[in-house]
């Protein structure tokens, strides 16, 4: 990557980035294709990532984390995603959806109980908002949490939960007051072993196949009142705030995928000869390289900028929805463009499963879909610009 001078990377940033790069290239790259093929969850490498502190980079040390900043997290995640986007999304959900949300809205007890095991790499966290009838329209969820003395009784079906089959703890969003629409949604912290919670069908996915995704089924699942995150009715805002952080993680994932595909294409364009010269010397290929590089660097600027906005928000409390959505929108569309062109530059070999290009292409697609589709990002950006609710 280019060490852009406008981003003042500290010694700690560079150390973390280099450590993540070294680990990812040595330990993840050699196994990525095998786990993609089998669709098995990479327990061993995820455990090592936890031991290295990658699962709670921004979490203060008192809750088991590394106590670093948002840019540090982005730099480390980018390196993991260059090696394998499936490992990347597991890391992203742990850091930016799960830990970030509890740190922002949880009580001291909740932080100790639910953040420490995840941030220290001993357990895995999940975020459960989507339902079969409520994806983009997150306010339309129907699953119910009904108060019963010192408990809430949870009922409903959740879908597309990253790490659903393997996570130890979940943040779950449910309706506590159906008359109030978004303002009737509340958030709960649920231990995966709670009676009444079962893991549903595991999704057979196009890409990020080593990350496990499933439904969660709640049938009279009793959760103590002290596991409610913030007040009743605050769930929708919590979900949206978490997604602002999550979208920077997905922008970073897209950036990492694009960089990996680009590097392969750049080398190939310089080495492969046709008609007596490297194919990169033909304008049709050279201009592709120029466009890929430019879009990647623009994605990087938007993504690092969003990370810096997130870091500033820790003091100011200011929303960074616009920065996060612009980064995710541009970086995910760049990842699709770059992986597409990288296959084209490789010709038949790009289409072969012997090279990782086709995996990058399949993995890139999800970045335009989850944590808010490109259409939802455009909605967030245009509403923000036009001041329309
Ligand atoms: N931060 C704080 N508050 C926010 C907010 C944010 N980012 N976005 C909205 N709100 C607040 C609004 O200010 C408003 O509050 P008031 O009524 O007090 O003014 C309230 O929430 C309702 O906002 P909207 O009217 O804008 O809500 P909406 O129903 O129009 O929805 C939306 C807005 C942006 C479309 C939202 O529904 C959305 O983001 N949809 C996509 C959901 C999504 O990304 N799902 C992915 C789930 S996770 C996943 O993919 C799987 C995984 O495990 C990785």
Q: Indicate whether residue 84 lines ligand 1 (CB < 6 A).
A: no
pLDDT at position 388:
87
Residue range 46-72: mean pLDDT, rounded: 96
Check pLDDT > 60 for residue 2. Answer: no
Q: Are 139 and 181 in contact (CB under 8 A)?
A: yes
Cα 44 to middle of ligand 1, angstroms: 35
- pLDDT of 134: 78
Q: What average pLDDT does the segment 93-112 reach?
A: 96
Ligand 1 atom 49: the closest Cα is on which residue?
371
- Residue 7: the pLDDT is 75
Nearest residue (CA) to ligand 1, atom 14: 237
315 an active-site residue?
Answer: no
- Provide DSSP, 309-360: HHHHHHHH----HHHHHHHHHHHHHHHHHHHHHHHHHHTHHHHSTTSTHHHH
- Measured CA to CA, the distance from residue 120 to residue 328 in angstroms comes to 27
Give residue 366 CA to ligand 1 midpoint distance, Å: 19
- Is pLDDT above 80 for 5? no
Report the pLDDT averaged over residues 207-216: 97
> Does residue 169 have its Cβ closer than 6 Å to ligand 1?
no
Q: What's the pLDDT at 6?
A: 65
Nearest to 353 by CA among 2, 37, 1: 37
Mean pLDDT of 339-348: 98
pLDDT of residue 384: 96
Given a cut of 60, whether residue 74 has pLDDT beyond it is: yes
Q: Convert the pLDDT of each residue in 350-378 to its tens digit.
A: 999 999 999 999 999 999 999 999 999 99
**Residue 52: is its pLDDT beyond 60?**
yes
CB 215 within 8 A of CB 201: yes
pLDDT at 3 over 60: no
% residues pLDDT > 90 (the chain):
96
Mean pLDDT over residues 283-289, rounded?
A: 98
Q: How far apart are CA 176 and CA 173, in angstroms?
A: 9
Q: Which member of 58, 203, 323, 371 is catalytic?
A: 371
Q: Which atom of ligand 1 is nearest to the CA of 247?
A: 44
Give the percent of the chain with pLDDT over 70. 98
The answer to whether residue 307 scores a pLDDT higher than 70 is yes
Q: Whose CA is nearest to atom 7 of ligand 1?
A: 240
Distance between CA 34 and CA 322 in Å, rounded? 38
Residue 310's alpha-carbon distances to 21, 100, 277, 316, 321, in angstroms, are 23, 11, 47, 10, 9
| pLDDT for the residue 389 | 74
How do residues 237-276 score in pLDDT, each as one tens digit? Answer: 999 999 999 999 999 999 999 999 999 999 999 999 999 9
Mean pLDDT of 156-182: 97
CB of 120 shorter than 6 A to ligand 1: no
**127 Cα nearest atom in ligand 1:** 53
Cα dihedral 123→124→127→128 (10° resolution): -90
Given a contact cutoff of 8 angstroms between Cβ atoms, the answer to whether 80 and 72 are in contact is no
Can you give the pLDDT at residue 45? 97
Model confidence at 4: pLDDT above 90: no
Output the CA 236–ligand 1 centroid distance in Å. Answer: 7
Ligand 1 close to Cβ of residue 130 (< 6 A): yes
* Overall average pLDDT of the 340-359 stretch: 97
Pair of tokens at residue 265: 């294409």
Mean pLDDT of 189-211: 97
Tens digits of per-residue pLDDT, 110-161? 999 999 999 999 999 999 999 998 799 999 999 999 999 999 999 999 999 9
Ligand 1: residue whose CA is nearest its atom 4: 237
Mean per-residue pLDDT for 291-305?
97
218-244 confidence digits (pLDDT tens): 999 999 999 999 999 999 999 999 999
């Amino acid at each position: 990557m280019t060490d852009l001078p406008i981003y003042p990377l500290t010694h700690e940033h560079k150390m973390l980035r280099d450590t993540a790069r070294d680990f990812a290239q040595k330990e993840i790259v050699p196994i990525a294709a095998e786990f993609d093929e089998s669709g098995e969850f990479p327990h061993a490498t995820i455990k090592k990532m936890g031991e290295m502190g990658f699962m709670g980079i921004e979490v203060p040390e008192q809750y088991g984390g590394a106590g670093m900043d948002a840019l540090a997290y982005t730099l480390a995640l980018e390196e993991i995603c260059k090696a394998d986007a499936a490992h990347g999304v597991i890391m992203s959900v742990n850091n930016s959806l799960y830990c970030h949300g509890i740190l922002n809205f949880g009580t001291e007890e909740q932080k100790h109980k639910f953040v420490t095991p995840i941030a220290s790499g001993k357990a895995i966290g999940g975020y459960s908002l989507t339902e079969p009838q409520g994806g983009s329209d997150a306010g339309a969820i129907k699953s119910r949490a009904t108060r019963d003395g010192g408990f809430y009784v949870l009922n409903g079906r959740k879908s597309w939960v990253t790490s659903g089959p393997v996570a130890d703890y979940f943040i779950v969003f449910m309706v506590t007051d159906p008359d109030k629409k978004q303002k009737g949604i509340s958030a709960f912290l649920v231990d995966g072993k709670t009676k009444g919670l079962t893991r549903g069908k595991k999704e057979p996915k196009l890409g990020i196949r080593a990350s496990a995704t499933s439904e969660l089924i709640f049938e009279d699942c009793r959760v103590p009142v002290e596991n409610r995150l913030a007040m009743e009715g605050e769930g929708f805002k919590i979900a949206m705030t978490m997604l602002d952080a999550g979208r920077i993680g997905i922008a970073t994932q897209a950036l990492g995928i694009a960089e990996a595909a680009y590097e392969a294409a750049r080398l190939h364009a310089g080495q492969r000869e046709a008609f007596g010269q490297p194919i990169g010397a033909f304008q049709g290929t050279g201009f592709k390289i120029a466009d890929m590089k430019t879009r990647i660097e623009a994605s990087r600027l938007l993504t690092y900028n969003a990370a810096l906005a997130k870091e500033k928000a820790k003091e100011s409390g200011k929303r960074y929805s616009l920065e996060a959505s612009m980064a995710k929108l541009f970086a995910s569309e760049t990842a699709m463009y770059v992986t597409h062109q990288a296959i084209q530059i490789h010709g038949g070999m790009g289409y072969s499963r012997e090279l990782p290009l086709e995996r990058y292409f399949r993995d890139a697609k999800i970045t335009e879909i989850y944590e808010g589709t490109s259409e939802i990002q455009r909605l967030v950006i245009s509403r923000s610009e036009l001041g329309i609710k």
